[in-house]
A and B are shown apart, each in its own frame.
Chain A
Amino acid sequence: AQRVTQPEKLLSVFKGAPVELKCNYSYSGSPELFWYVQYSRQRLQLLLRHISRESIKGFTADLNKGETSFHLKKPFAQEEDSAMYYCALLQGGSEKLVFGKGTKLTVNP
């Protein structure tokens, strides 16, 4: 069965420090992975997807099939990065997203 695990419910860092939000997945197939973000009082929105290999707002994420991981990284955190981050896996051939439980990132000044 597909599963997405985000081991940290809460993560707190200081402004300017590197940040890494962990995501591990279980999927018998070629995974399509995403990071979604929800800022305070805003709707859930796509941050980035592995297939496009892009950097958004300074965040990057690399798919490691050997470790079944898709960790989200940013070298220098900013206060405006404080939000809930969800890792999600798209079930093959469908629109069904399987979400992790989320990590609340707080960037302190």
Chain B
Amino acid sequence: KAGVTQTPRYLIKTRGQQVTLSCSPISGHRSVSWYQQTPGQGLQFLFEYFSETQRNKGNFPGRFSGRQFSNSRSEMNVSTLELGDSALYLCASSHNRVDSSTDTQYFGPGTRLTVL
């Protein structure tokens, strides 16, 4: 089956603008998580959505927000972009964690955001 897809793959924005990134999970997966990856901080958890509800949130400012649609597709939005927001943004999808011994997060290829 098709893997996690993310669009766009690359994005260039200027400071102060806003951006929306999209993630389509694997068919049947209801949980979508977002991560920010930078050389300095590594992989950091942004938030997780399940059945259109945010279940967990990382330590990021309110400029970072997200949502999930009824088909489990998710978007994240960053407003008032700063230079430090330049990063690779990854999303991951998984089933409901009923059976944690087999549930796995599958990652997308990421969206490379550059803020000038």
Contact = CB atoms under 8 A, between A and B. Distances in A.
B43 A99 contact: yes
Interface of B: 3-4, 31, 33, 35, 42-45, 48, 50, 55-56, 58, 90, 92, 94, 97, 100-102, 104-110
A96 B45 contact: yes
**Overall SS of chain B's interface:** strand
Contacts, number: 57
A71 B44 CA distance: 21
A83 interface: no
A91 B105 CA distance: 13
A52 B43 CA distance: 24
Contact of B109 (A43, A98, A102): A43
Contact of B56 (A45, A86, A96): A96
Contacts of B31: 95
Contact of B107 (A43, A51, A100): A43
B101 A44 contact: no
Given A44-B107, A45-B107, A102-B42, A96 B100 contact: no
A81 interface: no
A96 B50 CA distance: 12
A98 B44 CA distance: 7
A94 B101 contact: no
Contact of B45 (A43, A97, A101): A97
